[in-house]
Structures are given as structure tokens and as C-alpha cells.
Amino acid sequence: MTDQPITPPAAPAAAPGGKPGSPRWRYAAGGVLFVLLLAAGLAGFFLAYPAKAPDALGRAIEDITGANPHPVMLLRPSSQPLSALAQLGAQIFRDPALSASGRQSCASCHSPDRAFGPPNDHDVQIGGPGMTTEGVRPPPSLAYLYRQGPFTIGPAAGETDAVIPLDQLAQQAQGAPRASKSAGVSPAAAAMVPSGGLFWDGRDDTLMGQARGPMLNPAEMANSSMEAVAAKLARASYAGQFTPLFGKAVLHNPAMLFTEAMSALSRYQIEAAAFHRFDSKYDQWLEGKARLSHAEMRGLRLFNDPLKGNCAGCHLSQPTRDGLPPLFTDTEYEALGLPRNPRLAANRDPHYADMGLCGPYRTDLAKQTQYCGMFLTPTLRNAARRGVYFHNGVYHSLKQVLDFYNYRDVQPGRIYPHDGAGRIAKYNDLPARYHVNVDVADAPFDRKPGDQPALTDAESADIIAFIRTLDDADRRAGGASMR
């Protein structure tokens, strides 16, 4: 965009008289022309430097230029060379010799090339000693977990210091009204909502505690015991790197070796920049350094609009008050009532249901049936790079995801199969007695069959264009280098 030249018209000689064509009239016309040119010049200036425009102009400028009229400074985690422990973690993360099959490492299911999400478009990954056992949920991305707090049930994580046992908290929450969530609007009353934690059901709290899961999980790396893993670690090419950190004895102390390896894995995920780049086009846009296309800009507004997509009601899109970049999750749990995935081996058993917070993989909240069907809201950063979506891997494209949000209630026949009696089997992945837990309050889920869908197909496509701006810019970096 080039600036308009601001050339004040030559001031005509002042003279008495006001008839058209007279010197005085010409003087006035010159003034008008001056103002017009000045306006054109300012418009040009604001188009080139949108950040300097006053608020009222902001939206118009967004429309024309795609630039952010109110740029912010984002506080990114500082980037430092990996500590010795984290470097060790990077090697453990990629070492297939640590699995029972000898063919699977953490990176096999959490691919550095795909934001540490699944390496392929399969519904779930396989693992086990013979690499023939099917998993039950798709691997989440491991990126952007560094701010994930511990699992808790309450008004907001971290607001109270009191340590109240979870089952007690859950009981208090029973019968409390569910707060509905709208982008940009804080609910009037604090509802007791579960939030935080790792895995789709929040059953582990720390990256360190978490890593022991896949090492020993029979459907994953399938080691028979902690000692079996320690024996492999002691034989690894990088075994020598443990001794300067923990002393020679560590190689002969399986419990300690295993624990330190888990802590190395966790340091790697916390320290390595590849896990929290914050260099997407949208981050650049927030900082006033990139412009969104018309489709991306429309998509951003629909994503945020509480009456349209309302996606930002749960997938937060604004930086925090302290300037931390948005993670596109509020880290809370919701029951969305997804259709059952008939392709999953586990689902051949008609009595099997993955109910998230209330089981079967998480066991401590089994009696808190108000949570049956609830799963953690995942980040949407790098979502366009995934080939599989939701906790049961039922969808494989963002178009299918958008159709689910848009048509679940207004045209459920497009989303769910018909049952034996010819009725639409709504929420067919959850036992009927828990259907009341499914979110019917938040847009776009607040509609009835036959209502207008919240989004046109063109609007859904715009939201997808926006979600693509959430891909990390540096595709190679996660894969090629360890940082």
C-alpha cells in the first residue's frame, strides 16, 4: 500500500466576494479539497500502519487490510539451549529400543513432524509386543502442554489454596447448574467445572508421571515392568549421559534410572522450543506482523462470535491479561455427544463405552455420573495438521468436525446412524442415562431439529481457513532438530 501524497492546494489569493467563481468561493473549494486530500492521505497512512488508527476505524481497516488494528506483545517462553537432562530426554523420546516390540518410541505416536500428534490419519495407533494391539483413543498433540495445570474441580484452577479431596469437590458440584460458555462473556455464577490434567480424561497430572503410562501400557510400548525399561536404558547408547547427572550408581538402580528417565522426558517436553513455538500466522497477526486473508479474517470473527461458531467460548483465542499467547483451549471438560466410531476394535462390544472422566480408563470419578461423557477440550493449535479428530477418532477432516458442530442438533440425521426402529441414534456413543450430560447450552449446540444451522457451509469453510492460521510456522524444526 503506497501512501497518498498529501499536497495542500495552493492557497488562492484572498479576495472579497462570495459568488460561485469568485475568489472567496474558490478559497472555500480549496479548503474542501484540502480536507478530502488530507482524509485520503490519512486513510492511506492508516492502511499502511493499521496500529496507529483510532478504534472506530479498526474494523474497517481489518476488513480492507487484514491487519490487526490493536497489536499486542506476546510473552513467549524464553528460548534457551536444552539442559543436559532435556537432551537426554530428547534421545529417550526417539528410542524405539525402549519398547517391547523394539519398533516403537514416543515419537512413533507423537510425531515431531506433525506437532507431536499422530503420524498418520488412522483412527487410533497400534502398539504392543507384536505391534498388533489397537489403541482406544487417538494420541493428542504434545505441543502447548507446558501451561496445563493439574486436574481440579472448582470455579477456576488456582484460586484457592485449600486442598479438598476430588470426590468431595465432585459431590459439591453435583446438581450445580452448568455454566454456559460464550466467547468473550464470563459466566455470571462460577460453576464447578473439572479442568486441567493430562490425557483425554485428565487422569494424570504431570508430564513426568504421565510418561510411565505409555512405557508400561500393553497397547503401547508394552514393557512388562519398570525394571525391564531400566535394563534397556542401561544398555542404550546414551546410558553414559546419566552418570554425570546422577552418579555411577544410577545405572545399577532400576527404580532410580526409570524415574530419572521419566524426568528427562518431561524436561525435554517443557524446555524444547518445538513444543511451544507460538510462531503461527495468527500469533504474528496478534503482534501486528502478519495480515489475514479475507477468508481467514471472516473465519476469525465467526470463530469468536457467540451467536455463530462460538468456538472461542471453549477454544480461547485471546492472549491472557498477562500477554501469554492463547492456547485455544480453556482446559475444561465437556460432553459433546460425538457419534460412536464403529471402526474401533473396542467398540465391537456393544456394552463398551468410553465415558472419559467417569471411566473406564479413569477410575477415581466413576461414581460421579454427572461427568460421564466429558473429555478435555484440546488445543486447536496445529489442528489442521492432524489427520484424526476427537477422543474416539471418528472424524478425519476439519470439514467433518465443522459439520458435527453445525448439524448435530438441527439435522442430527446427518451425524448419527438410525437405530433398529428407524429412529436417529443421537449421542449413540454414550449410555442413554448419561445423555443429560451432553452440552445443549452453548452455541452452536443450542438449537432444535429444523432450526437454521448456526453456520452456512461457506462460513464453515472460513472457520477452517482461520484454523489453518494456527499451524506452527516452522514445520521442519520440530522434526529435524531436537530443539
Assess contact for 64 and 47: CB atoms under 8 A. yes
CA trace torsion 177, 178, 182, 187 (10° rounding): 40
Minimum Å gap between C-beta 377 and ligand HEC is 4
Binding segment for ligand HEC (CB under 6 A), chosen from 26-34, 76-84, 156-164, 210-218, is 210-218
- Across 203-334, where does the E strand assignment appear? 333-334
Residues 28 and 32: their CA atoms lie apart, in Å, by: 6
User: Site for ligand HEC (CB under 6 A): which residue of 43, 67, 100, 145?
Assistant: 145
Residue span 25-64 as binding mask against ligand HEC, x where in contact by CB under 6 A, dash where not? ----------------------------------------
Nearer Cβ to ligand HEC (109/230) = 109
Binding segment for ligand HEC (CB under 6 A), chosen from 44-52, 134-142, 156-164, 420-428, is 134-142
Residues 306 and 191: their CA atoms lie apart, in Å, by: 19
Residue 332 is given by DSSP the state B
CA trace torsion 185, 189, 193, 198 (10° rounding): 40
The SS3 call for residue 227 is helix
Cell of 252: 545399577
Minimum Å gap between C-beta 111 and ligand HEC is 10
For residue 229, give the H/E element and its range: helix 226-235
Judged by CB under 6 A, does residue 221 bind ligand HEC? yes
Assess contact for 406 and 454: CB atoms under 8 A. yes
Amino acid at 146: Y
Going by C-alpha positions, the residue among 386, 420, 406 that lies closest to residue 454 is: 406
Judged by CB under 6 A, does residue 193 bind ligand HEC? no
Minimum Å gap between C-beta 98 and ligand HEC is 7
Assess contact for 181 and 219: CB atoms under 8 A. no
Judged by CB under 6 A, does residue 223 bind ligand HEC? no
Judged by CB under 6 A, does residue 298 bind ligand HEC? no
Q: Do strands 133-134 and 126-127 pair parallel, antiparallel, or not at all (unpaired)?
A: antiparallel
Nearer Cβ to ligand HEC (53/380) = 380
Q: Restricting to residues 79-108, which ones interact with ligand HEC according to CB under 6 A?
A: 104, 106, 108
Q: Do strands 133-134 and 152-154 pair parallel, antiparallel, or not at all (unpaired)?
A: unpaired
Residues 242 and 227: their CA atoms lie apart, in Å, by: 16
> Count residues contacting ligand HEC (CB under 6 A)?
51
Judged by CB under 6 A, does residue 142 bind ligand HEC? yes
User: Site for ligand HEC (CB under 6 A): which residue of 315, 340, 426, 447?
Assistant: 315
User: Site for ligand HEC (CB under 6 A): which residue of 313, 325, 326, 339?
Assistant: 313
Minimum Å gap between C-beta 242 and ligand HEC is 16
Residues 200 and 203: their CA atoms lie apart, in Å, by: 8
Q: Restricting to residues 240-269, which ones interact with ligand HEC according to CB under 6 A?
A: 265
User: Site for ligand HEC (CB under 6 A): which residue of 199, 242, 258, 371?
Assistant: 199
Going by C-alpha positions, the residue among 353, 357, 352 that lies closest to residue 368 is: 357
Judged by CB under 6 A, does residue 386 bind ligand HEC? yes
Residues 376 and 330: their CA atoms lie apart, in Å, by: 9
- Residue 158: count other Cβ atoms within 10 Å of its Cβ: 10
Q: From residue 387, give the alpha-carbon distance in Å to each of 118, 215, 312, 335, 382.
A: 8, 24, 22, 22, 11
Judged by CB under 6 A, does residue 140 bind ligand HEC? yes
Judged by CB under 6 A, does residue 299 bind ligand HEC? no
Q: Restricting to residues 394-413, which ones interact with ligand HEC according to CB under 6 A?
A: 398, 401-402, 405
User: Site for ligand HEC (CB under 6 A): which residue of 181, 281, 298, 483?
Assistant: 181
Minimum Å gap between C-beta 72 and ligand HEC is 23
Chain residues binding ligand HEC by CB under 6 A are: 104, 106, 108-110, 125, 127, 135, 137, 139-140, 142, 145, 181, 198-200, 207, 210-211, 214-215, 220-221, 265, 309-311, 313-315, 334, 336, 338, 361, 375, 377-378, 380, 383, 386, 389-391, 398, 401-402, 405, 439, 442, 463
